[in-house]
Amino acid sequence: MHSRRQPEARRQLHSRRTVLTAAAAAAAAAATTTAGTAYAAPAAPRGTHDRLRALISRMSLEEKVGQLFVMRVYGHSATAPDPADVEANRKEIGVANAAELIAKYHVGGIIYFSWAHNTRDPHQIADLSNGIQQAGAAQRVPVPLIIATDQEHGIVARIGAPATLFPGAMALAAGGSREDVETVGRIAGAELYAMGIRQDYAPDADVNVNPANPVIGVRSFGADPRAVARYVAAEVKGFQAAGVAATAKHFPGHGDTDTDSHVGLPYIHHTAEEWERLDAPPFKAAIAAGIDSIMTAHIVVPAFDKSEDPATLSRPILTGILRERLGYRGVVVTDSLGMEGVRKKYGDARVAVLALKAGVDQLLNPPDLQAAYNGVLTAVDKGEVPEPEIDEKLLRILTMKERRGLFANPYTSHRAVDRTVGTHKHLKTADRIADRTTTLLVNEGRLLPLSRRSTRRVLVVGADPAAPSGTGGPPTGVLARTLGELGFTTTALSTGTAPTQAQTDAAVAATAEHDAVVVATYNVTAGSSQRGLVQALLNTGKPVVQLAIRNPYDIAQLSGVKAALASYSWTDVELRAAARVIAGRREPKGRLPVPIMRADAKDKELYPIGHGLSY
């Protein structure tokens, strides 16, 4: 069933828009002055296009079509993955390993996932990247592959420690420094480059104006389009200065939906004028910054396409708006074609064809590669997709590869990894940036910072969502360990994101031997049992500090809390920073990048954009 807004939801949307009117108006003006120019990629060396066109002319149709695909593949090695990964590859792709995938389908790119066992450690990643490039060089027409991943940082990071992990987008926006954001892009890009990865599916350019958004949230820089545009441009500059293609996502804007496009088909009911004010500025800023690629969204925008096709398959959106109105001439890549949002109306073979007709260049991770590949070949044979259009798409992709140095040298080395990835300097920079992001929302009676004299024994309880790759364990453990290092005596007790009555009772009983409680909450809703846990802890009379470890909106559901903070993620770097604030070792410097609305009156602000207390 399509996700259509009901009348009450539409009224709430109108209220959120009213709150954001001033920011949106400023964003529209900023878009005209700072982001209204057409895409201008770095100048290619003289003769590059002629040379790339000559390369394309040597390819068969099958080779050209293969170059449009960016595909997953299981395994830590290009030629000798573990037996379980060989089995998974044969079942899903019909090949044993990455080298066979490249030889059979001539794919132009590979996407790395931790769940596909591509990202065990930096040396292994570099070796896998080199093996993939060797397979590309062994083709009849040698073409380097572009290797990509989703390394947004914060809650989306495919590569974990010992690589440097930074705060995510909303946390960085809370820190308020464009220089920090550009630094994150530059360092993260340098580390990816050292591991052979030349395209990152970041930054997220969505403007998160819907607190109920289940898929974007803290992946966005916030709810102010003007601020989001500034940070997107800064991160693009950082990534691309490091030699990595940045990717702004998810066009035309996934920030105002209450449906996850992984499992459904979201509708965005913005008018054309609202889209121009709320959603367009970050993409315009990315284009003005010279971004290499833009990722599509599997969302329906009726204001732009009455067919109700998702944007990924919409020519009015991708060609009419992105290419023609915004003047973008870089690479357009789909979001994963395995997501339900793009598979609802058409079969997998047809989806690939429609995406190309809409204006897409790269087809990302189709669930059935053979069906998609054959579907495109058939469409070209029948004249539905003219071969010259395939050539133009391929030219854009190859030009991006040229700009990122892949034709000059696609390889990396263990030495490059050792001198770049997870260095002491990078890790210190991550901590320094994180120290500017923790936001203090409430501090009645100056409960914070905790005193090591009066509140020395601290119980850390609460949510323990699955830890992002390469973290130090559940959030309660990381917080307790860091507070312990700062001089407190701590106990960690995980109660989960949906604590049972027994878990709540155990937490209450544990307070008897402690002077204060820190409770980590995770996306608290009106019906969440986390509310009961927090209230039960408050009823003990012990000082209670609440820390929102994902979306910052939890405090709206938690009456009676006298000390509340937001870390915007549960990764180690952000939790350690929050612990330093709780212990008084750092001042809380973060400011809300989104408004927090009242739970009992969703058209009224509890805390506005920019709210944040200091000690």
Alpha-carbon distance of 319 to 495, in angstroms, equals 49
Bridge partners for 492 per DSSP: 460
Q: Which stretch of DSSP H or E encloses residue 76? A: none
Nearest by Cα to 233 from 174, 157, 180, 284: 284
Contacts of 507 (CB under 8 A, 6+ apart): 459, 461, 493, 495, 499, 533, 536, 537
Task: Tell me how crowded residue 591 is: count the other CB atoms within 10 A of its CB.
Answer: 19
d(CA 441, CA 575): 16
Is residue 149 within 8 A of residue 114, CB to CB? The reply is: no
- Report the amino acid identity of residue 301: V
Q: Tally Cβ neighbours within 10 Å of residue 448.
A: 24
Residue 545's SS3 state is strand
Kindly report whether the peptide bond that precedes residue 449 is cis, defined as omega within 30 degrees of 0: yes
Start-to-end Cα distance in the chain: 49
**Distance of alpha carbon 125 from its chain centroid, rounded?**
20
Among the listed residues 206, 335, 554, 572, the single catalytic one is 335
Active site annotation includes 262: yes
Tokens describing residue 420? 């770049």
Query: Coil, strand or helix: which one is 471?
Result: coil
- Could you check whether the bond before residue 167 is cis, i.e. omega within 30 degrees of 0? no
Candidate list 262, 269, 418, 431, residue with the active-site label:
262
Residue identified by tokens 């590979």 is 110
Q: Which of 540, 366, 514 is nearest to 374 (CA)?
A: 366
Name the nearest CA neighbour of 403 among 277, 240, 566.
240
The closest alpha carbon to 129, from 410, 478, 492, 452, belongs to: 410
Phi-psi region of 263 (alpha: psi -120 to 50; beta: other; left: phi over 0): alpha
Q: Is 250 known to be catalytic?
A: no
Active site residues: 262, 335
